[in-house]
Structure 1
């Protein structure tokens, strides 16, 4: 297990993170460049070596219900890699992380394009916006109800 000082040295390798002292000698490290409401990357780093890293925006990474990963027993490489992934995940929009661009056709060979943009999904007929949806499932449901199927 890494000591508090070793963890602190690793965390401070990331110039994007800003150290904030909180109660009981604990530290938080904020990423002000986050595209999300979440700005704290390292949470409650304690002098006993316990602490957490926010990994809630990293796809398929096991976290608790708050998106946190306990770093108490991590080695140098694991901690460094997790922090890099956490910062990167907060630096990309959902559309950049998981792009979607699909062409859908109906029986009359009319085409629509489904695209993920920012926090939603848009359907276009050439350059004209046909619909905006909160989820992929909503967009697909619309397209299927209109008689379109994915290529």
Structure 2
């Protein structure tokens, strides 16, 4: 089994991934150029060596209900391969997704009355949260669900945070 430091070094070797520390010493790696709402490639890489890589679009991996494969016992070649395949799967066909998907983890939505709601992605749990000021208004498992809710409530995306 590779150590935490070895797994970090492998993930760090992919320049297209952005390292994001989360709680309890864990680390996530995001692929910001994903054409899908899913951006997390490496999830909760833990100092004990446990961690996950998104393989929801890949064949040949046993994944959990969110599409992640456990990489605890992966060797170097296997880990590099699954990360590379994950990035490729999130690259899609290279089409322009700027009109539909989020380009950041935070967006400001406004309605005709100039009221503002903030849509924020929580890196820890992968949920999208809608806030009215400091108060949470709603939570969603996907960007599309949150977008639909906000549009149904009469809001439109005004700017990206």
Q: TM-score range by the shorter chain?
A: 0.5 to 0.7
2:20 alignment partner, SS class: strand
Flag the structure with more relative contact order, 1 or 2, with Cα contacts below 8 A and sequence separation at least 6.
2
Q: Which runs of 4+ in 1 moved over 4 A?
A: none
Please tell me whether residue 75 in structure 1 is matched to residue 71 in structure 2. no
Shift of 1:62: 2.6
Aligned residues: 95
Structure 2 stretches of 5 or more lacking a match?
96-161
- Secondary structure of 1:9's aligned partner: helix
SS in 2 for 1:86: helix
TM-score by length of 2: 0.56
Deviation at 1:59, TM superposition (A): 3.8
Q: Given the alignment of the two structures, is residue 30 of structure 1 paired with residue 27 of structure 2, yes or no?
A: no
Query: Which residue of structure 2 aligns with residue 86 of structure 1?
Result: 86
Q: Cα RMSD (Å) of the superposition?
A: 1.7
SS for the counterpart of 1:48 is coil
Deviations 1:17-74 (A, max 9, x none): 0000100110000000001000000000000000000011224533111100000000
| Bigger radius of gyration among the two | 1
